Structure 1
């Protein structure tokens, strides 16, 4: 690889995160050499999407000490992380937007679709009163991380819950700047995007993956928590990555090793109906949040996940699917009881 200044992905990452953090996270991830080879005055949607994922992975590690410790251990072993997917949660009211944000997943499909993502499958999460959707990159399906984007359906709860949700999430603001929207419009139209414009837009798009509503009153938080751990989690953490996932060769063996080391690993593996997708996770790290009443309280934060994917014999390619049962089990990592 030639000088980093000639590498589009490095230039975007370093401009967004700073030189030290940017170089460090790029050295942490196993990235498709073809993406690293991109150079020139314009930025492909694939390179921009990968830079977004790199920055979001960096943010996740900053908020999840247990995940950062695991990643550092892998680096000490001379290994890199294959970033499989990131997950985020949204709020979906029965009608209209979520405050100033587009409703539910629309707040993020307006970002993902112009960057080359397409919806691969829908996963009903009925027990959680949610719907999950997988978005895979059309150009680089196996090597640019997927997004598992879920909506919590407020209208599946009672009126008291709905009123509290409106008070909390109705304060949401829209973080996308004019520059960010212009770049997304250009990508959506298939136009070339100059590197200077991409560098200017990326921080605002990264910032969309955060909390953009006011911290709730504790009484409203408790009300949501009494009905839905997932809704309460969104109330304090917003649309930040709920988890990031490391694709490993043998998740069962890794889980046993981490368990023997005393890591806070999930009790059992989640195995898809096909048997080809196997997942587990570290339990969510705690986070301290300042509520509207001025009190700081400890709540569940985000977590780090692991997945093994086998080849689908019908296609001869990696099985990139998810599984409703797996997802429901993994979501429990952020419940207060967990």
Structure 2
């Protein structure tokens, strides 16, 4: 297909990931035809948001071999992935920014809100000393993936933890440049953005979903790990996609099949208080990450998740909510294993 006949999302994705990888990734996903049909020189916030999510999905599979293998198997069976949501973790200090990066979730709400997302709900994760927030797209709430954005509250830990966190995360840089911030301001005021601007900004936006701070000192990493698996995970993985989630018809049946195939599955299904949202996941794949002493060590990376959502009888629409208990259980997928402490 010529570039002139491509829709906006396909043009953005292939320009960012390359023609072959871009089309392969698009072919993995169920994408609303109304989104794919958008074309022309003007890029809507919804088209940009969907292209961003496609690229983030590709990045997650690149880092999570278990998820990549599952998606390959799904395609071989004639299926596609309904990308339900992605999850991010962030750090919030008691006062001020995180190095040069805006504090906690602010580093991402400055991206999400201009792209048409709104906060749908707050989920206290008190056992983890975190707060989760769901961000849902206003224009295509069921079709564009949500974000589950969590903050770890450094001030809920002891002074030794606070000092180690400051040494690690205080080195954070801000990946967004002035032209990208200006593009987001255009989206925020309701304008469409010219394709030539959007295609330059997309890789810069994607770079925000990464580690912005310097490799941590191993001693500081161990200290964080002794108090919080989640803080230690952010120390090595930063603001990378913690997981991407496949919306499936029957997560219980899928979970049993994957267990029977000896996939690295979570043992127990997480079921929301309403019973309408059911989740499980692969255990996190291990990755090699650098530390300040120049050594590379094995730590938990990201993972791939599965969810089933029922219709909410009060609204007659798909229940797009999350659940504090479910989230706390799913977060355990990145708990450090014995090998991470060596």
Range class of TM-score, shorter chain: over 0.9
Tell me how large the CA RMSD over aligned residues is: 1.1
* Partner in structure 2 of residue 226 of structure 1: 226
Q: What TM-score comes out, normalization by structure 2 length? A: 0.97
What do residues 266-322 of structure 1 show as CA deviations (whole Å, max 9, x unaligned)?
Answer: 001000000000000000000001111111100000000000000000000000000
* Partner in structure 2 of residue 292 of structure 1: 292
Equivalent residues in 2 for 1:130-141, closer than 5 Å: 130-141=130-141
CA distance in 2, matches of 1:223, 1:159: 11
* Partner in structure 1 of residue 108 of structure 2: 108
The SS at the match of 2:147 is strand
The SS at the match of 1:97 is coil
Equivalent residues in 2 for 1:109-258, closer than 5 Å: 109-258=109-258
8 A contact 1:134–1:322 mirrored in 2 = yes
8 A contact 1:5–1:11 mirrored in 2 = no
* Partner in structure 1 of residue 318 of structure 2: 318
* Partner in structure 2 of residue 56 of structure 1: 56
8 A contact 1:179–1:200 mirrored in 2 = no
CA distance in 1, matches of 2:279, 2:219: 35
Count of aligned positions: 338
What do residues 67-104 of structure 1 show as CA deviations (whole Å, max 9, x unaligned)?
Answer: 00000000001110000000000000010000000000
* Partner in structure 2 of residue 89 of structure 1: 89
The SS at the match of 1:123 is strand
CA distance in 1, matches of 2:6, 2:55: 19
8 A contact 2:300–2:337 mirrored in 1 = no
CA distance in 1, matches of 2:98, 2:184: 21
* Partner in structure 2 of residue 30 of structure 1: 30
CA distance in 2, matches of 1:315, 1:35: 24
Deviation at 1:4, TM superposition (A): 6.8
TM-aligned CA distance change 1:234 to 1:330, over 3 Å: same
8 A contact 1:287–1:299 mirrored in 2 = yes
List runs of 5+ in structure 2 lacking aligned partners: none
8 A contact 1:4–1:10 mirrored in 2 = no
Q: What TM-score comes out, normalization by structure 1 length? A: 0.99
Misfit runs of 4+, over 2 Å: 1-6
8 A contact 2:299–2:337 mirrored in 1 = no
CA distance in 1, matches of 2:229, 2:222: 10
8 A contact 1:271–1:277 mirrored in 2 = yes
Deviation at 1:3, TM superposition (A): 6.3
List runs of 5+ in structure 1 lacking aligned partners: none
The SS at the match of 1:91 is strand
The SS at the match of 2:255 is helix
The SS at the match of 1:71 is helix
* Partner in structure 2 of residue 16 of structure 1: 16
* 1:279 partnered with 2:279: yes
